[in-house]
């Protein structure tokens, strides 16, 4: 039965910008006023850049001074969500040792900007908009011994359940689903092609598959009375898991687990493979396909109670974030051209295929010229600013976005009239930014296999959608309209001229993982005007994406990621290696250590982010280093999604007993009283 369970898985502050923000506790109004009067300030330079790239109607009021201070959350899928949950629990626990009544409002009061990328955006948006997620974090801080179990009860168990069942598109997509399962879980194509779907259960497979859930169930009985509601919710979730039917893929999964990655040199943990198969199967049964935006919608609803339609400008937000500038990084796709951010060794992207069925194709590229194929972008809003607010920052600052004009092709022939990309972005993402759904922005920010999803072969059916599609539709409906036009197109046997015209007029375009252009959120924050940043990072060793911001000038690959001319790449690496550290407790399985330190930087002009030259930026790095766990991919050594709760617990345990945590709070977050 347990094996079945495992399978079966916020411009209110704008108006006050002339006043001193005393709640940050730093007495910094004089310095902020001086900065605001300085014609060479980053904020004024950024506003000049913004006026060039935004429509005339997006006239901006002056920013509140604390917008210069940003807290950023790096991308890293489920690992980032767990890392930053644990770190925030740890900081809040230590803050309460001095101020027992402290809440998230006091902890993050210093920062006026919150920036998230990919999994870091999951964390930031849940912490901003979800009362239940915030409660879980605060309870983890109050009861650090049970922090991990609170996390698993809030996030992990619900992730695998609560999928409504539907059989829509199952017949059309069933074979595509099977191929995708094999390709996703098995890195060895020969083994994947040889495996056949069969029935039956391996005893060893069943025994290993039940371990994580059984351990979690047993531990729930130890929870203190103060966490009784957590216990009941988790037990209810486990009961639902046990009542679910096991998908008919067990022998397939066991073979994959035995084969393992890279030709069988290592083995996948069977329990993890079981969890993956159930998650993907439940998603397929519920939605009729494998769509990234559907998965993120489920994660936010089940794990945080955020409805997929809830907008960025909603009045339903947690008070700690009121008035803050909320940034969610993403990446736009602008072929033809090379990718000179991280993937210089990949073939150029000549076009994006929207539809490819029976030798009938529909795709877009640029009307003329070549561009970098990827452009950094950001969703921006003021938390609590209302649904009618315009975006306080441009969606895309790159000159490529100013110059780009889309051109659609039907079977290789141009169709429709080209439209300027910036006009499209104004309509879809800037004019009514407050109406855009939180889930849509978060999905776009985290579509980590979005590039793969744009492959020509993936457009044979509307079954596997790994990027997040948008359209030239406003009022917050850009994602909804994209889903509708895709469904309409793929329900037709032939693309007639009327439908081709409708598609080209709507001009659907994909957004993919913000980590493809800025995986740390630091560049996005500097682009938005931040000069003081507390950067939450996670990695296995020295974070390569942090180092890429300081890459050598002769490194062509990193020219587009480089936003700082000093210090140098090698100097930053040396600084990082000599950072202070909070060691993991003895016996920790996943946390290695937490590295932290400060880097004083000077910007290099980067037109893709709209960042000017010679701006001083101070970055405090807080890097959670771990091992034996990943962002969520089925990699050898990663045992179970329930391991994320263990990681949360190890981070909290390490931080609450280390005096350096209090020192960090005093120096980077502000006074503790």
Question: pLDDT: is 327 or 553 the higher one?
Answer: 327
Q: At CA 32, angle to CA 28 and CA 36, rounded to 5?
A: 175
pLDDT for 24 beyond 80: no
Of the candidate ranges 221-225, 491-495, 589-593, 598-602, the one whose mean pLDDT is the lowest: 221-225
Please provide the average confidence, as pLDDT, over all residues in the chain: 79
- 543-597, pLDDT tens digit by residue? 888 998 997 755 544 568 899 999 999 999 999 999 999 999 999 999 999 999 9
Q: Which residue has the higher pLDDT, 254 or 394?
A: 394
Q: What is the pLDDT of residue 343?
A: 60
Residue 238 pLDDT exceeds 90: no
State pTM to two decimals: 0.83
Mean pLDDT, residues 74-99 taken together: 96
Percent of the chain at pLDDT exceeding 70: 71
pLDDT confidence tier of residue 473, bands split at 50, 70 and 90: very high
Q: Is the pLDDT of residue 101 over 80?
A: yes
Q: What pLDDT score was predicted for residue 48?
A: 41
Among 118-132, 326-340, 434-448, 550-564, where is mean pLDDT lowest? 550-564
Closest by CA to 556, choosing from 366, 345, 393, is: 345
- Per DSSP bridges, beta strands 532-539 and 616-626 are parallel
Q: What does each C-alpha distance from 166 to 160, 169, 370, 415 come to in angstroms?
A: 16, 9, 43, 36
Of the pLDDT bands very low, low, confident and very high (cuts 50, 70, 90), residue 14 is very low
The listed range with the strongest mean pLDDT (13-17, 420-424, 648-652) is 648-652
Q: What is residue 503's predicted lDDT score, i.e. its pLDDT?
A: 93
Check residue 391 and give its pLDDT: 97
Instruction: Check if the beta carbon of residue 246 is closer than 8 Å to that of residue 621.
Output: no
Instruction: Between 541 and 351, name the one with better pLDDT.
Output: 351
pLDDT of amino acid 47: 42
Q: Decide if 9 contacts 159 (C-beta within 8 A).
A: yes
Q: CB 60: neighbour CB atoms within 10 A?
A: 16
| DSSP assignments along 44-113, one per residue | HHHHHHHHHHS-TT---PPPPGGGGEEEEE---HHHHHHHHHHHHHHHHHHHHHH-TT--HHHHTTT-SE
Q: Is the pLDDT of residue 231 over 90?
A: no
Dump pLDDT digits (tens) for 169-227.
Answer: 444 566 656 555 555 544 323 333 333 333 333 333 344 445 555 666 676 677 677 67
* pLDDT (0 to 100) of residue 23: 37
- Which band of pLDDT confidence, cut at 50, 70 and 90, is reported for residue 394? very high
Kindly tell me if the per-residue pLDDT of 605 is higher than 50. yes
pLDDT of the residue at 631: 85
Note the helical H segments in 536-622. 544-548, 569-577
Q: Which of 62-66, 151-155, 584-588 shows the lowest per-residue confidence on average (mean pLDDT)?
A: 62-66
Q: Is the pLDDT of residue 495 over 80?
A: yes
CA-closest candidate to residue 302, choices 108, 161, 452, 181: 161
Task: Between 350 and 115, name the one with better pLDDT.
Answer: 115
pLDDT band of residue 478 (cuts 50, 70, 90) is: very high
- Higher-confidence residue of 571 and 464: namely 571
Task: Kindly state the percentage of the chain with pLDDT values over 90.
Answer: 54
Torsion, Cα 56 62 63 66, to 10 degrees, reads 170
Report whether pLDDT(228) > 60: yes
Higher pLDDT, 64 or 445: 445
């Amino acid at each position: 039965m347990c094996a079945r369970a495992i399978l079966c898985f916020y411009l209110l502050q704008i108006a006050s910008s002339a006043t001193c923000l005393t709640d940050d506790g730093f007495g910094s109004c004089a310095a902020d006023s001086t900065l605001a009067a300085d014609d060479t300030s980053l904020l004024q330079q950024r506003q000049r850049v913004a006026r060039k790239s935004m429509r005339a109607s997006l006239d901006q009021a002056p920013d509140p001074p604390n917008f210069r201070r940003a807290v950023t959350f790096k991308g890293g899928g489920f690992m980032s969500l767990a890392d930053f949950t644990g770190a925030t629990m740890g900081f809040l626990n230590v803050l309460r040792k001095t101020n027992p009544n402290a809440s998230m409002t006091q902890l993050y009061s210093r920062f006026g900007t919150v920036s998230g990328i990919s999994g870091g955006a999951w964390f930031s948006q849940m912490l901003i908009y979800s009362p239940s997620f915030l409660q879980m974090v605060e309870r983890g801080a109050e009861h650090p011994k049970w922090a991990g179990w609170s996390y698993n009860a809030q996030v992990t168990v619900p992730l695998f359940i609560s999928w409504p069942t539907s059989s829509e598109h199952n017949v059309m997509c069933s074979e595509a689903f099977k191929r995708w399962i094999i390709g996703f879980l098995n890195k060895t194509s020969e083994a994947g092609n040889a495996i056949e779907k069969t029935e039956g259960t391996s005893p060893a497979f069943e025994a290993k598959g039940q371990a994580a859930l059984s351990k979690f169930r047993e531990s729930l009985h130890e929870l203190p009375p103060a966490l009784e509601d957590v216990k009941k919710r988790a037990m209810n979730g486990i009961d639902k898991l046990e009542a679910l039917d096991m998908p008919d893929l067990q022998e397939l999964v066991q073979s994959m687990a035995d084969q393992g990655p890279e030709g069988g040199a290592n083995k996948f943990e069977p329990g993890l493979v079981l969890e993956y198969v159930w998650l993907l199967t439940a998603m397929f049964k519920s939605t009729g396909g494998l769509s990234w935006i559907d998965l993120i919608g489920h994660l936010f609803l089940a794990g945080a109670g955020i409805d997929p339609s809830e907008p960025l400008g909603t009045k339903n937000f947690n008070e700690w974030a009121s008035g803050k500038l909320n940034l969610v990084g993403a990446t736009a796709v602008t072929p033809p051209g090379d990718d000179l951010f991280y993937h210089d060794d990949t073939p150029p992207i000549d076009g994006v295929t929207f539809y490819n069925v029976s030798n009938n194709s529909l795709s877009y590229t640029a009307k003329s010229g070549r561009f970098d194929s990827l452009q950094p972008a950001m969703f921006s809003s003021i938390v609590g600013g209302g649904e009618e607010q315009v975006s306080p920052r441009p969606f895309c600052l790159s000159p490529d976005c100013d110059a780009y004009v889309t051109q659609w092709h039907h079977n290789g022939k141009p169709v429709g009239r080209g439209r300027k990309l910036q006009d499209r972005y104004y309509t879809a993402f800037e004019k009514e930014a407050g109406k855009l759904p939180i889930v849509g922005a978060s999905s776009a920010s985290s579509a980590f296999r979005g590039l793969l999803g744009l492959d020509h072969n993936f457009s044979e059916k509307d079954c596997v959608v790994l990027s997040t599609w948008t359209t030239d539709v406003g009022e917050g409906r850009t994602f909804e309209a994209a889903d509708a036009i895709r469904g309409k197109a793929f329900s037709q046997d032939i693309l007639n001229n009327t439908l081709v015209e409708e598609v080209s007029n709507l001009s659907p375009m994909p957004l993919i993982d913000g980590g493809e252009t800025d995986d740390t959120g630091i560049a996005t924050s500097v682009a938005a005007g931040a000069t003081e940043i507390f950067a939450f990072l996670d990695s296995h060793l020295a974070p390569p994406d942090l180092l890429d911001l300081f890459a050598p000038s002769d490194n062509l690959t990193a020219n587009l990621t480089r936003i700082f001319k000093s210090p140098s790449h090698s100097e930053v690496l040396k600084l990082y290696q000599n950072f202070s550290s909070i060691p993991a407790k003895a016996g920790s399985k996943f946390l290695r250590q937490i590295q932290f330190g400060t880097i004083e930087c000077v910007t290099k002009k980067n037109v893709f982010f709209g960042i000017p030259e010679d701006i001083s930026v101070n970055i405090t790095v807080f890097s959670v280093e771990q091992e034996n766990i990943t962002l969520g991919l089925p990699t050898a050594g990663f045992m179970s999604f329930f391991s994320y709760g263990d990681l949360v617990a190890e981070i909290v345990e390490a931080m609450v007993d280390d005096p350096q945590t209090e020192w960090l709070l005093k120096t980077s977050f502000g006074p503790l009283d």
